[in-house]
Structure 1
Amino acid sequence: MTFSSVAVLGLGKVGHLAATLLSSSGFDVVGIDQRPLDSATSPFRTVGSVDVASSALEAELTDVDAVLSCLPYHLNVGVAETAHRLGIHYFDLTEDVPTTERIRQLAADSAGVMAPQCGLAPGFVGIVAASQIATFDRCRSVRMRVGALPQHPTGLLAYAFNWSPEGVVNEYLNDCEVIEGGERKWVSPMEWHEIVHVAGTRLEAFTTSGGLGTMCETYHGVVENLDYKTMRYPGHMELMNFFFHELLMREHREDAGRILTHAKPPVDDDVVYVHVAAEGEREGRLGRAEFVRNYLPKVVGGVRSTAIAWTTASSVVAVIEMVRDGGLPDSGFLKQEDIDLDAFLTTRTGAHFLD
């Protein structure tokens, strides 16, 4: 199908940057938000004061070829269902497992591609891990670790909410799928504690929900051990377990998000740590593949962007470019592990990960 126009829903830091990058890549972009907007300040057309949870959204999407949702995860199913009715492509950044399952059901008879989980994790790290798995005759383990953190942490939590508080609370409290000893299973979040070092920085890692996307299904019977963990500065996990479980804030997720964001607001000087490692055999010899990076803020699309904003926005825009250019299917459900890493990195936007 012809693919030249994209609506971007939610013009926060990530959404606005994604819309800017799409415009730079030759797409006709319209940015849509519930807030009133001033089009004169954007490099793309904008529409404000739209209730994306209402029937008004369908009218806004009638004349576009695709929609990218940068909205809170609980709004994505409604957007995906609208995209499905209109027969247009759908992309999002969600890590929420039930949301993804519903989108996958829609993809069974979709006219366009249905591509959730196109952010950093799930998303880019899954593409990296799949490229590592493919180099082994037998893969015994894949460990995926990601942390979005302040460069200059303060306080015991040593954290700043540069990402959606709803998303962070969700991944801290929902069960996590893994493959352990060849068996697919669900484990509790904020457990399996370990120490990881990236670029000389000591970090802790622990289980969180959603970062693997569909990889457990794809690699069951292929990889013996597969898991995803979030990285934080040491001591964070113990404090968050106290907050959610001993203080019972797990029963008040919305309040928890507000309290945490008020205490630890976003910062401009952040860093994204990525540590993906796979082990296995090649021609009978045991080997290890590693992808270890620390990404810092930089100028992207003419604007200085936080590390979490540009890594997330670049991930999804690169995938959208690949669909437009014929490098990926244009209908059905898209798994991140089916995306070729080298092709991803040669896109206009995916190349930001090489800088």
Structure 2
Amino acid sequence: MFQKIAVLGLGKVGHLAATLLSDAGFQVTGFDARVHGAEPPFARQALDVSSRADLDVALSKVDAVLSCLPFHLNIGVAQAAHAAGIHYFDLTEDVSVTKEVRSLAKTAKGLMAPQCGLAPGFIGIVGAHLAQSLETVRSIKLRVGALPRNPTGLLGYAFNWSPEGVVNEYLNDCEVIEGGERKWVSSMEWLETVYVEGTRLEAFTTSGGLGTMCETYHGTVANLDYKTLRYPGHVALMNFFFHELLMRDRREDAGQILTHAKPPVNDDVVFIHASAEGVDDSGPRRHEFVRAYRPLILAGEQRTAIAWTTAASACSVIQMTRDGQLPASGFLKQEDIPLDTFQRTSLGGLFAG
């Protein structure tokens, strides 16, 4: 059992996560580079996370930390959490960050749990649940997309998520299992068509969405991959932007250009299309989890779909850890979290649809 938790980064997701954790009975302190705006329902302080000394002081007063910071800041936070002997949670999709967190977990006093957001995160919990009832698993296919409900322009997109994170996903290589072989493939490839609630979408490879699943299922699943969902035509334009215009060599500039051109919207939708195919005791079988999550009112305000799905997923994992339903130390794989238990938390039930 623990009660005191620090939430680092008070953007839309971080602020909501801090609010939801406070509502769930945690003693929350939110930290950001600047403290401004209306007083939230939790304590907050200014913090320069690049200062290890200041970070150490902040984490010395809590039992756990949730990092909602850009991925490149998470290693420093994880190292500070490890030194303080507290639980660590983050939302990262970055493979190198997770590798470092896993290394720290070998000697951690608390639980080290990266990738607690939507993808990686909730989608891995779903994928593992779909596969567990199959005796032989031929494939696990996981697709997620956070999109504007009313798209405009050729890209059909709005940057409701971190531009750094999106650029990272689009350019870094992707781990998959293909034909029983664990391998790395290029992002923005393997294009296919997917429908969710009658909406036609395109799916293509992006980095990080599987988290640790390739390691977990290597040798037992023949094919495993993760793809991002977008409206048709998006990936061709992004390939042109990054590769023909060579913006892949200017990642920071690329993120700024894209965010300026396609700013966030409030009316968004998160599409999920997950499936597992294989054989059970009755013969060939396909299990699916297909949802479209839209904005809803949480803690008295309307929240975007990407904000509440990400924050609620992380908060559910934190609640499960507090309540003794997950390990108290070591490294946590998202695919080891039972979906049924997750959905019995006060926030996990929102995903049942």
Q: TM-score with structure 2 length normalisation? A: 0.99
* Amino acid aligned to 2:340: D
Q: CA deviation at 1:331?
A: 0.2
Whole-Å Cα distance in 2 between the matches of residues 251 and 28 of structure 1? 43
1:41 aligned residue: 39
1:77 aligned residue: 75
Whole-Å Cα distance in 1 between the matches of residues 54 and 102 of structure 2? 24
Whole-Å Cα distance in 1 between the matches of residues 301 and 101 of structure 2? 32
1:4 aligned residue: 3
Say yes or no: does 1:51 pair with 2:48: yes
Runs of 5+ unmatched residues, structure 1: none
Aligned partner of 1:111 among 91, 109, 112:
109
* Amino acid aligned to 1:53: S
Whole-Å Cα distance in 2 between the matches of residues 6 and 206 of structure 1? 37
SS in 2 for 1:258: helix
Deviations 1:71-121 (A, max 9, x none): 000000000000000000000000000000000000001000000000000
Whole-Å Cα distance in 2 between the matches of residues 284 and 348 of structure 1? 35
Q: CA deviation at 1:44?
A: 0.3
2:16 aligned residue: 17
Deviations 1:218-249 (A, max 9, x none): 00011110000000000000000000000000
Deviations 1:40-75 (A, max 9, x none): 620000102x11111211111111000000000000
SS in 1 for 2:147: strand
Whole-Å Cα distance in 1 between the matches of residues 85 and 347 of structure 2? 26
5 Å matches for 1:222-237? 222-237=220-235
Whole-Å Cα distance in 2 between the matches of residues 174 and 159 of structure 1? 20
| Alpha-carbon contact 2:35-2:44 (below 8 Å) kept | no
1:147 aligned residue: 145
* Amino acid aligned to 1:178: V
Whole-Å Cα distance in 2 between the matches of residues 182 and 27 of structure 1? 44
1:221 aligned residue: 219
1:330 aligned residue: 328
Q: CA deviation at 1:37?
A: 3.1
Deviations 1:295-354 (A, max 9, x none): 000001222100000000000000000000000001000000000000000001111113
Whole-Å Cα distance in 1 between the matches of residues 312 and 125 of structure 2? 13
| Alpha-carbon contact 1:37-1:47 (below 8 Å) kept | no
| Alpha-carbon contact 1:157-1:236 (below 8 Å) kept | yes
SS in 1 for 2:156: coil
Whole-Å Cα distance in 1 between the matches of residues 346 and 280 of structure 2? 33
Q: What is the aligned-residue RMSD (CA, Å)?
A: 0.8
| Alpha-carbon contact 1:66-1:90 (below 8 Å) kept | yes
1:185 aligned residue: 183
* Amino acid aligned to 2:101: I
| Alpha-carbon contact 1:172-1:208 (below 8 Å) kept | yes
Aligned partner of 2:249 among 231, 234, 251:
251
Whole-Å Cα distance in 2 between the matches of residues 179 and 90 of structure 1? 29
SS in 2 for 1:82: helix
2:300 aligned residue: 302
Say yes or no: does 1:126 pair with 2:124: yes
Q: After TM superposition, where is structure 1 displaced by more than 4 Å over at least 4 residues in a row?
A: none
* Amino acid aligned to 1:27: F
Whole-Å Cα distance in 1 between the matches of residues 352 and 208 of structure 2? 25
Whole-Å Cα distance in 2 between the matches of residues 93 and 180 of structure 1? 26
Matched residue pairs, number? 352
Q: Percent identity between the aligned chains?
A: 67
Whole-Å Cα distance in 2 between the matches of residues 353 and 135 of structure 1? 20
Whole-Å Cα distance in 1 between the matches of residues 291 and 189 of structure 2? 24
| Alpha-carbon contact 1:37-1:46 (below 8 Å) kept | no
Aligned partner of 1:204 among 182, 202, 205:
202
1:29 aligned residue: 28
Q: CA deviation at 1:262?
A: 0.1
Whole-Å Cα distance in 2 between the matches of residues 139 and 159 of structure 1? 34
Deviations 1:184-204 (A, max 9, x none): 000000000000000000000
* Amino acid aligned to 1:52: V
2:276 aligned residue: 278
Aligned partner of 2:261 among 256, 260, 263:
263
Q: CA deviation at 1:284?
A: 5.6
Whole-Å Cα distance in 1 between the matches of residues 218 and 208 of structure 2? 16
Whole-Å Cα distance in 2 between the matches of residues 300 and 338 of structure 1? 27
Q: TM-score with structure 1 length normalisation? A: 0.98
Whole-Å Cα distance in 2 between the matches of residues 238 and 266 of structure 1? 21
Runs of 5+ unmatched residues, structure 2: none
Whole-Å Cα distance in 1 between the matches of residues 197 and 301 of structure 2? 26
